[in-house]
Structure 1
Amino acid sequence: MEIRQLKSNDAESYLAIRLEALQNSHEAFATSYGEEKNQTENSYHDRLSSETTFTFGAFIDKQLVGVITLVRETLVKLSHRANLVAMYIKPEARGKGIGKLLVNSAIGQAAQLDGLEQIYLSVVTTNQSAKQLYLATGFEVVGKQLRALKWQDRYYDEEQMVYYLK
């Protein structure tokens, strides 16, 4: 298994896993498949080349099986913060420690960014495995947002979590 930061030449693989994530785990993401399905590979080239966004991928036999993205805030008053988003592991690759490796890669990247002190994330309260992973890697719950997401007349609550680098 290989964990590495994705680059613009990984855009096609990233687009494929992103669309799979939105179809298979629609309740876990703010973006819907319908909103994202018309994105082009070129739009992901830009995301994967950004200086404030770091996407890590897990590869098994050269196949992308998991992703996570760290996004640094750019506003001056928020520049000490980053957000962890778009975490997804293909079902057949779950239970192998890939999630922990991806989260730790993002935390490692964050620790290298000058002035960064905190990493935030939101997790749907029904996603017990993700919540356990984040708690096990050092995140702590700092709040709960009721009815945070709504999909097809169903509401999903989210917990906000934070990891303090300093």
Structure 2
Amino acid sequence: MARDIIVRQLGIADLDAYFQLRLRGLAEHPEAFGKSYAEALASGPEQYRPTLEGRTADEGRFILGASLEDSGDGTLREGALVGTVGLIREQNERGRHKASVVAMYVASEAAGRGVGRALLEALLARAARVDGLRQVQLVVSSTNLAARGLYESLGFVAYGHERESMRVGDTFYDADLMAYFL
């Protein structure tokens, strides 16, 4: 059965679903995110309320979510949130031409189905409409070759490498810095 990926801007009604998926991503892939599961849990879902209220979307601060219209095999609930990505624009005057991709996550049961690509394509299309925005940056763990390949296929280019960018427990992870020029 065909699977249609639906990407939309998340709103306040999505707060709980977004928070649960965010916690899942943080738990499953702690090396991929700057915030830990414990930090997110302690801050609670309300930390995302200002962004999900949507008042800053036109200015370059929003969260997109993806769902699959129909699973066909019973493994995914129709309309369930299976992926997310956010954009956060720099606020200072000299950096407002830049924004960062944040909280990119696709649930394992939806991996390999084009959800990540659909999310990023939608994010880049929206970013291109933000007045004055010229580049979108991201940080990806150097060990995450699949994500890096996806980013490169969409036109992101590496501009730096940070050794020991993040520490999870006793393990350090390097990160690659990438940018997409609008």
TM, length-normalised to structure 1: 0.96
Q: Distance in 2 between matches of 1:48 and 1:139?
A: 26
Partner of 1:77: 94
Partner of 2:104: 87
Map of 1:101-140 to 2, 5 A cutoff?
101-140=118-157
Contact 1:53/1:71, CA 8 A, preserved across alignment: yes
Q: How much has 1:54 moved relative to structure 2? A: 1.1
Q: How much has 1:42 moved relative to structure 2? A: 2.8
SS in 1 for 2:21: helix
Letter in 1 for 2:67: F
Q: Distance in 2 between matches of 1:31 and 1:112?
A: 28
Q: Deviations over 1:5-60 (max 9, x none)?
A: 10111101100000000000001001100111123333322221250421110012
Partner of 1:56: 64
Q: Distance in 2 between matches of 1:16 and 1:134?
A: 25
Q: Which runs of 5+ in 2 are unaligned?
A: 69-77
Alignment partner of 1:19 is 2:36: no
Q: Distance in 2 between matches of 1:134 and 1:95?
A: 14
Aligned pairs, number: 165
Letter in 2 for 1:53: R
Partner of 1:3: 7
Letter in 2 for 1:79: R
SS in 1 for 2:158: strand
Q: Distance in 1 between matches of 2:140 and 2:22?
A: 17
Given candidates 93, 96, 99, the residue that maps to 2:113 is: 96
Q: Distance in 2 between matches of 1:31 and 1:42?
A: 15
Contact 1:9/1:45, CA 8 A, preserved across alignment: no
Q: How much has 1:62 moved relative to structure 2? A: 1.2
SS in 2 for 1:16: helix
Q: Distance in 2 between matches of 1:69 and 1:41?
A: 15
Q: Distance in 1 between matches of 2:166 and 2:42?
A: 22
Q: CA RMSD in A?
A: 1.0
- Percent identity between matched residues is 36
Q: Distance in 1 between matches of 2:48 and 2:161?
A: 31
SS in 1 for 2:42: coil
Q: How much has 1:64 moved relative to structure 2? A: 0.3
Q: Which runs of 5+ in 1 are unaligned?
A: none
Letter in 2 for 1:149: M
